[in-house]
């Protein structure tokens, strides 16, 4: 699932202040709200937790936990292997949005089209099935298929 975060109204109209609003024009509150809106569309069994890096965009993690009813875990700094699926997905996203791309110029529909394309792409880790196929199977089978867990 990809989240669309449009720039806040008025962003860029005035000079940037030290310790002012986020450079991208949206801060932790916007990220929290976007995650909440999106994650609550998933079945409860698939939204038990969220693992994130150490970014400031998750400063509202406690409120996110309350709003979305999920546990939020943070990876150790400089430990991308703790978020392997995310790092792989970031690499796939670079095929659509090269590093440094201003994502605010892309509409929610464009972002959704990229998500649909990635969800229709077979993955070796899924025995060459697509993420969409695996989710559909999981939903059809009454949630009996095991999803990745950490122990």
In a domain, 17, yes or no: no
Scan for tokens 């994130």, then name that residue.
52
| Total number of domains constituting the chain | 3
Q: Are residues 114 and 136 in the same domain?
A: no
Residues with Cβ within 8 Å of 52's Cβ and at least 6 positions away in sequence, in order, are 58, 61, 72, 73, 74, 75, 83
* Residue 55: domain span: 22-74
pLDDT for residue 151: 43
Measured between alpha carbons, how far is 50 from 118 in angstroms, rounded to an integer?
20
Q: Which of 73, 8, 1 is nearest to 43 (CA)?
A: 1
Per-residue confidence of the chain (151 residues) as pLDDT tens digits?
A: 898 886 666 666 666 555 555 555 567 888 898 899 999 998 888 888 888 887 888 888 899 889 888 898 888 988 888 887 888 888 999 999 998 888 878 888 999 999 999 999 999 989 999 999 999 998 888 766 555 554 4
Task: Please give the pLDDT value at position 24.
Answer: 54
Of 74, 95, 110, the residue at which a domain comes to its end is 74
Does one domain contain both 27 and 65? Answer: yes
In-domain check, residue 55: yes
Q: Tokens at residue 82, please?
A: 């703790």
Same domain, 67 and 32: yes
Does residue 107 fall inside a structural domain?
yes
- Residue 27 and residue 69 in one domain: yes
Distance CA 26, CA 5 (A): 7
Q: What integer pLDDT is reported at residue 92 of this predicted model?
A: 93
Asked if 104 and 137 sit in the same domain, the reply is: no
> Is the domain of 68 the same as that of 45?
yes
């Amino acid at each position: 699932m990809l989240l669309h975060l449009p720039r806040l109204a008025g962003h860029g109209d005035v000079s940037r202040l030290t310790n002012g609003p986020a450079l991208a024009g949206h801060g932790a509150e916007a990220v929290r709200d976007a995650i909440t809106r999106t994650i609550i569309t998933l079945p409860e069994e698939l939204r038990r937790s969220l693992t994130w890096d150490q970014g400031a965009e998750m400063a509202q993690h406690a409120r996110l936990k309350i709003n979305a009813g999920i546990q939020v875990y943070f990876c150790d700094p400089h430990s991308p292997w703790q978020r392997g699926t995310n790092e792989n997905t970031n690499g796939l996203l670079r095929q659509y949005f090269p590093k440094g791309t201003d994502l605010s110029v892309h509409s929610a529909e464009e972002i959704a089209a990229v998500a649909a394309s990635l969800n229709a792409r077979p993955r070796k880790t899924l025995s060459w099935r697509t993420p969409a196929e695996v989710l559909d199977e999981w939903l059809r089978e009454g949630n009996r298929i095991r999803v990745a867990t950490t122990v």
